[in-house]
Structure 1
């Protein structure tokens, strides 16, 4: 699912861009977000966007707050929403899928964050 035109050379560049468009209406559940913790409740939607731009796999792990999604790109773990946690994440690298990540958010939120990213960059 890699985008034909990728304006980001690394996932770190994507992180800087997506962090600027995370908001209450893109978090899951809606409204479970705070400007002081912008990555909060954005793991599923962010893992989808990372895969769009860089391919790789979507992985998940169980945390005290529930299922947490992140990515593996060329055998390197990328968790662009790790900053939402105040404790270490117990990564177990469970293979996941776009369908499972999307079921933790919504198609509308996914489209909204993709639209905001395309307008910003």
Structure 2
């Protein structure tokens, strides 16, 4: 079973995403900010980190930087999400996929699957 770490400071979004992904058969771990996400990642290595971009404590860019800098986290798939226009984020991080909030369930599930599949190559 693949593990997805969902990181978002908005509790309603966090719970909705976690429930949806569990219904699709993923094991889901949650965190409300980047520092908590890093703590979770040391406890168990997720297959995918689905992270919001703007959060308190440790935001999405800082979290991604820390994940990429840590050799133990190599091979973890990354998927960002933001309510701001993600076209600028895609230019800034061309090797990372982004979801534009709000997104529909089908788009989310397709992007999660695509990110997980790309990790296994």
Q: TM-score, normalised by structure 1?
A: 0.32
Q: Which structure is higher in helix share? A: 2
Higher relative contact order structure (alpha carbons within 8 Å, sequence separation ≥ 6): 1
Q: Normalised by the size of structure 2, how large is the TM-score?
A: 0.32
